[in-house]
Structures are given as structure tokens and as C-alpha cells.
Amino acid sequence: MSFYDISRRPRRLRRSLAMRELVSQTRLHPSDLILPLFVADGLDDKREIASMPGQYQHTIETLKAIGHEALEAGVRCVDLFGVPLEEDKDAEGSAGLREDGILNRALREMRAEFGDDLVIMADTCLDEFTDHGHCGVEGVDKYGNHVVLNDATVDLYAKMALAQAEAGAHIVSPSGMMDGQVAVIRAALDEAGWYDVAIMAYSAKYASAFYGPFRDAVGSSLTGDRRTYQQDPANARESLLEVQLDIEEGADMVMVKPAMPYLDVLAEVATSSPVPVAAYQVSGEYAMLHAAARNGWLELERTMMESLTSIKRAGADQILTYFAIDAAKALHG
Ligand code: PBG
């Protein structure tokens, strides 16, 4: 007999690990995880990124090695970002388009190494390759203002996507938030016969301060910000428009980025999207957990798994995360 008359006792289903696992509604799996990787030109060996402990600028050789480690842990996809030599940057980011540019070289070697066993995704954006650090080309608008030009930029994205398809990318991923980028890339790929190369669209990408460590990771030349092309953190509705447009334009998968500060947006997109919805746990989200763990303020493994579970629970089908290998290993126990 209990003192109070409590017949509904939700704690019953929390009593044991077996009971909790029985009723668990969200399950992470290693194949949900996509590992972003950086490959840098002119390195003798991989170099750790100070603000992202355990993450590196890779050489093509160490990139292959980490690809194998990811695959062995059960991760099925890597997303490659190129870091060119400083002297190869220019106003148009042409090193990103050239066949012998670092990203295209890396794509070619990774596809040769892994074939179709590991899905090779390419970042399709100019910011790593431009000397001003913007995601597109600069020019002057009708009012005489300096702007990042939309249509001239998407022309370059189409060429970049073609070069990446030729280099062996299974997926190209336009991340520059230019209008019409998915349509223009899809048309260029189809015209050249690359029907089977998929597009993961960075559809709802916010102008976020959580990208800070990424700028170290790619040696970004950006001064200023990207607020004239990435979304305002205050807005949710336009994410639905961006997702809708990208799907109409031919996106095979859409993405919300960053993840944890935008779980509301992710949840909304996930309810209505007819294509897979990915979320990107960005560099700052990774760096925060590591920094707090280094201070002894948070437990790294538990916060890592909780953050990924919350992103999945909000509706993500895939999660791009720098924790991919660690989390996959933790899932194996
Ligand atoms: C730009 C790009 C960025 C990231 C991925 N692609 C940076 C930006 O938009 O400023 C950020 C990823 C991260 O922070 O982990 N092409």
C-alpha cells in the first residue's frame, strides 16, 4: 500500500537498463553519422586543429587512413573540405574548380581507395578557395554596393560540382546559400551525364557564430560576415521556403545547420520533408563540449551521445558530426 493514491507511475518503465532499452524511442546507429574531414595542400603530415581537439588538417595519405578508420567503425559517409595553399587563393576561388586542386585530388584518391564502400561527399563552395573568404565572387550591385554576386557565383558552383563529379564524388553539397544553386548544379550534372551524382543541399544554413573553429580548420581569409547570404538566426519560416525550393530544384537530401541551436527548425523541416533531412553539428558545438570536458566541467562521452541523440530525436535522419568515429565506437560499446 502506498501512502498516496498514485496509480500512474511512469518510473516503472525506467527501472532497469533492459526496460529502458525496450521503450527507447530514439536509436543512434553508426550509419546515421557523416564525418566531415579537412584535406590540406602542402603538408608533410596531418596537423591538429587547435580549437577542435582530435580533428586534423589531413594529407591525402592520412585522409585515406581516417577513411578506413571511419568505415571500420561503421560510418558510411565522409564529407571532404579542401584547404589550398595561401598562394593558390584568388578572387574567384579557381583552385576549387581545377582538376589538380587539393579537394579534387583528394576526391579522386578517396574514390579510387574506397570505390562504393564509403560514400564520398564533396563540399561545393568557394569560401576555402577565395582570397577574400566569401562563398562566392564579389562585385558591385545596381546601387554601387559591394556584394557577393548570386548568379555569377552559381555558374562557378556548377563548374565546381562538375569537377567534383569527375573526380569521383558520390554526393556534391552546395553550402554557399546562393539562390538557385541546386537547380543550376542539377542541370549541369545532368547535361554532362552525371545523373547518379546526388545533391545534399545545405538548405537552412544560418549565419552562425558557432562556425568559429571551422574558420581555423580551413584557414579562412574572411573578414566580416556572411549575413547577406546565410539566414538570420531570428527566423524560422524562411527555412521552410529554402527547403521547399531546394526540393523543387532537385535536392536529394536537405540539411539544417547548425544543429543544437536550431532543433526547432530541424523538427519542423523533419515533419514535412519528403526527402532525407540531415543536421550538421558544427565545429563550435564540437569545440564547446571538448573545452568544457577539458576543464572537467562536462563528461565528454555522455554529452557527445546526448547531443547526438537530441539531434536525432528532433528528426535528423543523418548527422554530420566531428564525433562520428568516437560516437560510432561508443555505440559498439
Ligand atoms: C562554408 C562552410 C562553413 C561550414 C561548412 N561549410 C563555414 C561558414 O559558412 O562560414 C561550417 C562547418 C562547421 O562549423 O563545422 N562553405
Q: What is the pLDDT of residues 153-166, one digit of tens each?
A: 999 999 999 999 99
Q: With bands split at pLDDT 50, 70 and 90, how would you rate the model's confidence at 333? A: confident
Q: Which three cell numbers stand for residue 78?
A: 565522409
Residue 4 pLDDT more than 90?
Answer: no
Tell me which residue of 131, 127, 109, 130 sits closest to 118, measured CA to CA: 109
Average pLDDT, the chain: 97
Between the CA of 211 and the centroid of ligand 1 the distance, in Å, is 6
What is the reported pLDDT for 2?
66
Within a 10 A sphere around the Cβ of 306, how many other Cβ atoms?
A: 13
Q: Which three cell numbers stand for residue 99?
A: 582538376
Within a 10 A sphere around the Cβ of 100, how many other Cβ atoms?
A: 8
Minimum-distance ligand 1 atom for the alpha carbon of 126: 16
Q: What is the mean pLDDT of residues 248-274?
A: 98
Identify the weakest region by mean pLDDT among 12-16, 107-111, 186-190, 211-215: 211-215
Q: What is the mean pLDDT of residues 294-300?
A: 98
* Active-site entry in 46, 89, 142, 205: 205
Residue 3 pLDDT more than 80?
Answer: no
Tell me which residue of 33, 35, 126, 122 sits closest to 80, measured CA to CA: 122
Q: What is the mean pLDDT of residues 213-233?
A: 92
Residue 239 pLDDT more than 90?
Answer: yes
CA–CA distance, 327 with 310 (Å, rounded to integer)? 14
CA–CA distance, 220 with 200 (Å, rounded to integer)? 23
Tell me the three state secondary structure of residue 200: strand
Residue 318 pLDDT more than 90?
Answer: yes
Between the CA of 49 and the centroid of ligand 1 the distance, in Å, is 15
Amino acid at 247: I
Residue 19 pLDDT more than 70?
Answer: yes
Q: What is the mean pLDDT of residues 314-326?
A: 98
CA–CA distance, 286 with 307 (Å, rounded to integer)? 10
State yes or no: is 205 an active-site residue: yes
The reply to whether omega before 274 is within 30° of 0 (cis) is no
Residue of 51, 134, 173, 214 with the most ligand 1 atoms within 8 Å of its CB, for mutation: 214
State yes or no: is 257 an active-site residue: yes
CA–CA distance, 302 with 150 (Å, rounded to integer)? 42
Residue 75 pLDDT more than 80?
Answer: yes
Which are the contacts of 153, defined by CB distance < 8 A and separation ≥ 6?
A: 126, 135, 136, 137, 176, 178, 181
Which are the contacts of 148, defined by CB distance < 8 A and separation ≥ 6?
A: 134, 135, 136, 137, 138, 228, 229
Q: Which residues line ligand 1 (CB under 6 A)?
A: 123, 125, 127, 135, 175, 211, 214, 226, 282-283
What is the reported pLDDT for 223?
86
Minimum-distance ligand 1 atom for the alpha carbon of 175: 16
Residue 315 pLDDT more than 90?
Answer: yes
pLDDT digits (tens, 9 = 90+) for 90-113: 999 999 999 999 999 999 999 999
pTM, two decimal places:
0.97
- Say if CB 158 and CB 185 are below 8 A apart: yes
CA–CA distance, 257 with 208 (Å, rounded to integer)? 9
pLDDT digits (tens, 9 = 90+) for 34-61: 999 999 999 999 999 999 999 999 999 9
Q: Whats the size of the chain, residue-wise?
A: 333
Q: With bands split at pLDDT 50, 70 and 90, how would you rate the model's confidence at 1? A: low
| Count of CA atoms in the C-beta half-sphere (13 A) of 58 | 23
Handedness of CA 177, 156, 154, 77 (dihedral sign): negative
CA–CA distance, 85 with 103 (Å, rounded to integer)? 12
Residue with cell 521503450: 23
Identify the weakest region by mean pLDDT among 37-46, 216-225, 281-290: 216-225
CA–CA distance, 61 with 77 (Å, rounded to integer)? 18
